[in-house]
């Protein structure tokens, strides 16, 4: 009798990707070709997305013959956590090294009832979609060294898996045993696609990752709990409007006139405000939902009283609320955060027009420090603060 467990691993096809780039449908096709019963697909998915294992050997209820086939067909990568900043009860930043040595970051933000109205054990995770960014907004750390590459779908989804795995390890070290969290009680229940990179410039991989994150067989995070932030890629916003899911959209506006946007966001020369506005109106029409306008307050650039009216007009047209975010200074760049009183004056003036707006003062700079700053500090240590930090704040 032939014992297939002894069979050598089949040659992995040269283009074989990571198994977490697959959907339930493509996995089921492969399992059918292998004459494996369909329930094995669900067992596999349980290991990947509920138990979040990162080795074939850990999948103990799959026959070793099947594990060999899987290992021969796909890789099962993980992101290496090289640095973590922040304490358990505050915003925590994670720096990941990818297999090619590139680094990206994610930021875990505990639920703040004032911002999100959620229970205290819930978290929002801000994830990256590219290594670097090609869009070169003048104030942003992510674009400083240009664009390096797109993240694969599994590298996007892997940031959530990696953080949940890290959290489970921490909890176990603290005496808890939450290795297996049912879907309904995940650590991460809100996603903001606002880390490094321009998500809509990595559209296909982003959609594949979000579908895995959203799917009941994947991580079960509701589409309404996922916000995609873009600097304004008008044609991609229109494309997103045609997708079946109700993802939320945030526009990084930062200026309500072409004069201001042209000064700080090169993307505005390609897709000026009129084109961006039309695309947002199309999104609104298709999805029936308002988007959010993100507006960094930059001292002397976009924070004068004269900027309030065009911003209010645009927000009203788009039925959008406005998030005002005092700029988080980036070392080496000339831009400054306005005085708190000036931020408040701007917010008050905008509220007076009837537009809904928030001004993130407390923790604001923490929450919005996602964009490439930790990577910058690690890759260019001489340019900023030293790497040595108290061990309680640094992993490893």
Catalytic site positions: 105, 371
By CB under 6 A, residue 188 contacts ligand SF4: no
Residues in the chain: 396
The residue among 17 and 116 lying less far from ligand SAH, judged by its C-beta, is: 116
Query: Cβ 56 to ligand SF4, closest distance in Å?
Result: 35
Contact yes or no for 59/67 (Cβ under 8 A): yes
Q: How far apart (Å, rounded) are the C-alpha atoms in residues 77 and 56?
A: 11
Query: Cβ 371 to ligand SAH, closest distance in Å?
Result: 4
Token duo for residue 281: 């109106």
User: Residues touching ligand SAH: how many (CB under 6 A)?
Assistant: 17
Question: Which window, 161-169, 224-232, 236-244, 353-361, contacts ligand SAH (CB under 6 A)?
Answer: 224-232
Token duo for residue 44: 């596999």
Strand partners, 252: 294
By CB under 6 A, residue 292 contacts ligand SAH: no
Contact yes or no for 250/260 (Cβ under 8 A): no
Contact yes or no for 135/143 (Cβ under 8 A): yes
By CB under 6 A, residue 198 contacts ligand SF4: yes
Question: Please, what's the largest Cα pairwise distance for the chain?
Answer: 83
Residues 231, 291, 302, 323: which binds ligand SF4 (CB under 6 A)?
Answer: 231
CA distances from 308 to 60, 321, 326, 357 (A): 60, 14, 15, 12
Contact yes or no for 112/384 (Cβ under 8 A): no
In degrees, rounded to 5, the angle at the alpha carbon of residue 150 between the alpha carbons of residues 278 and 93 is 95
Residues 79, 95, 144, 325: which binds ligand SAH (CB under 6 A)?
Answer: 325
The residue among 134 and 361 lying less far from ligand SF4, judged by its C-beta, is: 134
Coil, strand or helix: which one is 116?
Answer: helix
Question: Which window, 16-24, 135-143, 182-190, 338-346, contacts ligand SAH (CB under 6 A)?
Answer: 135-143
By CB under 6 A, residue 133 contacts ligand SF4: yes
Site residues, ligand SAH (CB under 6 A): 137, 139-140, 194, 198, 229-231, 252, 294, 296, 325, 327-328, 330, 368, 371
Site residues, ligand SF4 (CB under 6 A): 133, 135-137, 140, 142-143, 197-198, 231, 252, 371
């Amino acid at each position: 009798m032939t014992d297939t467990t002894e069979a050598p691993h089949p040659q992995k096809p040269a283009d074989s990707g990571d198994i977490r780039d697959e959907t339930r449908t493509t996995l089921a096709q492969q399992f059918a070709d292998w004459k494996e019963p369909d329930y094995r697909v669900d067992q596999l998915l349980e290991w990947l997305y509920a138990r979040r294992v990162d080795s074939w050997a850990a999948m103990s209820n799959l026959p070793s013959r099947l594990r060999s086939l899987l290992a021969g067909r796909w890789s099962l990568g993980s992101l290496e956590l090289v640095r973590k900043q922040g304490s358990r009860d505050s915003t925590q930043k994670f720096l990941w090294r990818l297999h090619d040595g590139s680094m990206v970051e994610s930021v875990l933000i505990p639920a703040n009832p004032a911002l999100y109205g959620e229970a205290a054990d819930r978290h929002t995770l801000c994830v990256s979609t590219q290594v670097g960014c090609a869009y070169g907004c003048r104030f942003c750390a992510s674009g400083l060294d240009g664009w390096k590459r797109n993240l694969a779908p599994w590298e996007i989804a892997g940031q959530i898996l990696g953080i949940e795995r890290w959290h489970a390890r921490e909890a176990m070290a603290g005496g808890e045993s939450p290795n297996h969290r049912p879907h309904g009680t995940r650590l991460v229940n809100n996603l903001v696609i606002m880390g490094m990179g321009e998500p809509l410039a990595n559209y296909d991989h982003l959609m594949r990752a979000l579908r895995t994150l959203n799917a009941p067989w994947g991580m079960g995070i509701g589409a309404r709990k996922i916000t995609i932030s873009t600097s304004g890629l008008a044609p991609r916003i229109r494309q997103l409007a045609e997708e079946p899911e109700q993802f939320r959209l945030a526009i990084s506006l930062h200026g309500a006139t072409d004069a201001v946007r042209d000064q700080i966001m090169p993307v505005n020369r390609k897709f000026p405000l009129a084109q961006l506005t039309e695309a947002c109106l199309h999104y609104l029409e298709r999805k029936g939902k308002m988007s959010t306008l993100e507006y960094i307050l930059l001292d002397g650039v976009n924070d004068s009283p004269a900027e309030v009216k065009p911003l209010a007009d645009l927000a009203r047209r788009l039925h959008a609320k406005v998030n005002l975010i005092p700029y988080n200074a980036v070392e080496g760049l000339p831009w400054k955060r306005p005085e708190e009183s000036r931020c408040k004056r701007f917010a008050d003036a905008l509220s007076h027009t009837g537009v809904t707006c928030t001004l993130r003062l407390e923790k604001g700079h923490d929450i919005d420090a996602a964009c490439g700053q930790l990577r910058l500090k690690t890759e260019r240590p001489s340019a900023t603060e030293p790497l040595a930090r108290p061990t309680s704040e640094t992993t490893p």
